[in-house]
């Protein structure tokens, strides 16, 4: 009954106006204004998606949002929404539903998202768009959703190698894709709309580069735990929009202020850590409390690395293809390993933690190799097994022991 009531409520546009005010008051305690921009962006996106004033395009995490915004659509990212359910500690509700249909060995973000879809918590899509980059579970999941919602599923087949032929192949797909989606939605492809999206994407990228540069400071001015939550959320969902520029500009100013004051986010920074993998557990957990309590700062994370060059308005499809292929998680593991080594040196870390999320074969598969390479370079690396969205796979005592033992190793 409550479930149906909430599902009904969130479909009403006025609901978002009602909650926006109290949320602003509640989150005013955060000194970081960027966080409120994230909250407002989420509310607005969800409202628009349910209002269906624009085509609703469900998009997997590594599809550049510039495409969706350029097509005039509103992107909905089921994985990001799933992480929010975990954040509010209600993912169990949706997992129970989803587990009647799919295996519990799958990524919990997809399981939660399916549960949300089954409960009517997600806006009806007009079409689905996924890519083969990194997250291979997304294609099967989106394929299943296509049947569930009886809507087309567009799939970008990203080549393994970043070369001339691969780029050509991807560019051709992007052109076909935009033509097909424009026909389906009835919204013609307009280069000037895409040019604006590209301009905003490049501006956001500029601020993100500044932020990443500021985060080299000692002590670390901004916690990795926050970068891994709303920082990653904004990166996946908003690039190509004005809110994304506002967000990164605000965050940049906030961090600049901290650096100017010489203020670290920990009272005493004893160890600097690099976080590997794009996610962290989002349900209430003690991981970062344990690290913070032991003076171990997560100074940077691979999720925030700007791996793509500026997009070029003169060659939009080519530069979007370039962005996709530049992802270091695409292709041979050496790319990811080299990137991790560079980040470890740039941010002068004392150690690294690889969060191995249950069901995430593409990241966990290479974790041991990645850890071995880092160790061989004198950078201790711990593989922390866990689950990003399903709290039943989390054990606080065992996790605390591992983290504390790792910190003891660094001392």
Partner 1 sequence: MNSSPLCAGLDIGSLSTEVVVIGPQGIMGYSIVPTGSNIQRAIQSSMEKALKDAGVSQSHLSAVVATGYGRFNLSFPARQVTEITCHGRGASHLFPRTRTVIDLGGQDSKVIILDARRRVVDFVMNDKCAAGTGRFLEVMAGALETCLEEMGSLSLRARKRISISSMCTVFAESEVVSLIAQGASREDIIGGIHDSIASRIYRMAKRLRIEGEITFTGGVAKNLGMVEVLRRRFKASINLPDEPQIVGALGAALIARNSPQPVR
Nearer to partner 1, 79 or 390 (CB): 390
401 near partner 1, rule: CB under 8 A: yes
Q: Which stretch binds partner 1 (CB under 8 A): 64-72, 98-106, 203-211, 401-409?
A: 401-409
Nearer to partner 1, 206 or 293 (CB): 293
| Count of residues in contact with partner 1, rule CB under 8 A | 13
Neighbours of 95 (CB within 10 A): 22
Neighbours of 196 (CB within 10 A): 17
Minimum distance, C-beta of residue 187 to partner 1, in the bound complex (Å) = 50
Nearer to partner 1, 183 or 398 (CB): 398
What CA–CA distance (Å, rounded) separates 237 from 69?
A: 10
Nearer to partner 1, 178 or 363 (CB): 363
Minimum distance, C-beta of residue 365 to partner 1, in the bound complex (Å) = 14
Cβ atoms of 70 and 185 within 8 Å: the answer is no
Nearer to partner 1, 152 or 293 (CB): 293
Minimum distance, C-beta of residue 407 to partner 1, in the bound complex (Å) = 9
Minimum distance, C-beta of residue 395 to partner 1, in the bound complex (Å) = 7
Nearer to partner 1, 170 or 337 (CB): 337
Neighbours of 172 (CB within 10 A): 12
Minimum distance, C-beta of residue 410 to partner 1, in the bound complex (Å) = 10
Q: Which two tokens stand for residue 40?
A: 């407002």
Q: Within positions 381 to 400, which residues make up the interface with partner 1, using CB under 8 A?
A: 385, 395, 397-398
Q: In three state form, how does the secondary structure of 184-209 look?
A: HHCCCCCHHHHHHHHHHHHHHHHHHH
Q: Is beta strand 296-301 parallel, antiparallel or unpaired with respect to 271-276?
A: parallel
Q: Within positions 285 to 314, which residues make up the interface with partner 1, using CB under 8 A?
A: none
409 near partner 1, rule: CB under 8 A: yes
405 near partner 1, rule: CB under 8 A: yes
Nearest residue to 235 via CA among 45, 227, 71: 227
Minimum distance, C-beta of residue 368 to partner 1, in the bound complex (Å) = 7
Neighbours of 213 (CB within 10 A): 13
Nearer to partner 1, 148 or 369 (CB): 369
What is the chain's alpha carbon radius of gyration, rounded to the nearest angstrom? 21
Minimum distance, C-beta of residue 235 to partner 1, in the bound complex (Å) = 32
Burial class of residue 42 in the structure, from the number of CB atoms within 10 Å of its CB (0-12 exposed, 13-18 middle, 19+ buried)? buried
Q: Which two tokens stand for residue 207?
A: 């601020």
- Give the list of residues 6+ apart from residue 372 with CB closer than 8 angstroms, or none: none
Q: Within positions 364 to 383, which residues make up the interface with partner 1, using CB under 8 A?
A: 368, 375, 380
Q: Which two tokens stand for residue 161?
A: 């190698």
- Give the list of residues 6+ apart from residue 245 with CB closer than 8 angstroms, or none: 200, 203, 204, 207
Minimum distance, C-beta of residue 99 to partner 1, in the bound complex (Å) = 19
404 near partner 1, rule: CB under 8 A: yes
Nearer to partner 1, 22 or 397 (CB): 397
Q: Specify the residue for token string 């990524």.
A: 107
Cis peptide before 219, with omega less than 30 degrees from 0?
yes
Nearer to partner 1, 168 or 375 (CB): 375
Q: Which two tokens stand for residue 151?
A: 């809507």
Minimum distance, C-beta of residue 399 to partner 1, in the bound complex (Å) = 10
Minimum distance, C-beta of residue 363 to partner 1, in the bound complex (Å) = 17
Nearer to partner 1, 249 or 402 (CB): 402
Cβ atoms of 116 and 82 within 8 Å: the answer is yes
Q: Specify the residue for token string 């990795």.
A: 224
Binding mask 58-97 for partner 1 (x = CB under 8 A): ----------------------------------------
100: helix, strand or coil: coil
What CA–CA distance (Å, rounded) separates 168 from 163?
A: 9
Nearer to partner 1, 177 or 296 (CB): 296
Minimum distance, C-beta of residue 108 to partner 1, in the bound complex (Å) = 16
What is the C-alpha end-to-end distance of the chain, expressed in Å? 53
Binding site for partner 1 (CB under 8 A): 368, 375, 380, 385, 395, 397-398, 401-402, 404-405, 408-409
């Amino acid at each position: 009954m409550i479930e149906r009531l909430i599902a009904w409520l969130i479909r009403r546009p006025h609901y978002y106006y009602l909650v926006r005010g109290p949320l602003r008051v509640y989150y005013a305690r955060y000194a970081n204004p960027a966080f409120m921009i994230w909250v407002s962006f989420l509310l607005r996106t969800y409202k628009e998606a349910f209002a269906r004033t624009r085509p609703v395009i469900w998009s997997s995490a590594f599809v550049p949002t510039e495409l969706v915004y350029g097509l005039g659509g509103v992107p909905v990212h089921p994985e990001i929404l799933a992480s929010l359910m975990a954040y509010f500690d209600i993912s169990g509700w949706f997992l129970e539903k989803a587990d009647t249909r799919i295996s519990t060995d799958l990524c919990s973000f997809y399981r939660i998202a399916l549960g949300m879809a089954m409960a009517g918590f997600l806006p009806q899509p007009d079409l689905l768009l996924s890519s083969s980059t990194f997250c291979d579970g997304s294609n099967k999941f989106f394929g299943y959703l296509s049947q569930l919602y009886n809507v087309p599923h567009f799939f970008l087949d990203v080549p393994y190698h970043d070369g001339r032929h691969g780029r050509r192949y991807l560019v051709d797909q992007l052109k076909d894709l935009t033509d097909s989606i424009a026909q389906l939605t009835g919204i013609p492809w307009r280069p000037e709309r895409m040019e604006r999206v590209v301009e905003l994407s490049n501006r956001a990228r500029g601020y993100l580069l500044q932020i990443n540069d500021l985060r080299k400071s000692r002590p670390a001015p901004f916690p990795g735990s926050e970068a891994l939550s709303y920082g990653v959320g904004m990166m996946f969902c908003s690039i190509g929009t004005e809110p994304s520029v506002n967000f990164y500009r605000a965050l940049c100013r906030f961090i600049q202020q901290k650096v100017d004051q010489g203020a670290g986010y920990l009272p005493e920074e004893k160890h600097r850590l690099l976080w590997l993998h794009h996610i962290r557990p989002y349900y209430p957990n003690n991981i970062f409390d344990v690290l913070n309590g032991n003076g171990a700062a997560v100074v940077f994370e691979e999720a925030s690395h700007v791996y793509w060059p500026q997009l070029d308005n003169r060659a939009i499809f080519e530069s979007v293809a370039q962005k996709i292929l530049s992802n270091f998680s695409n292709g041979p593991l050496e790319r990811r390993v080299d990137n991790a080594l560079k980040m470890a040196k740039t941010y002068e870390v004392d150690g690294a933690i690889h969060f191995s999320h249950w069901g995430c074969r593409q990241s966990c598969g290479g974790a041991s190799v990645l850890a071995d390479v880092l160790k061989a370079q004198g950078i201790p690396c711990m593989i922390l097994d866990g689950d990003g969205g399903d709290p039943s796979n989390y054990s606080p005592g065992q996790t605390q022991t591992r983290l504390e033992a790792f910190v003891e190793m660094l001392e």
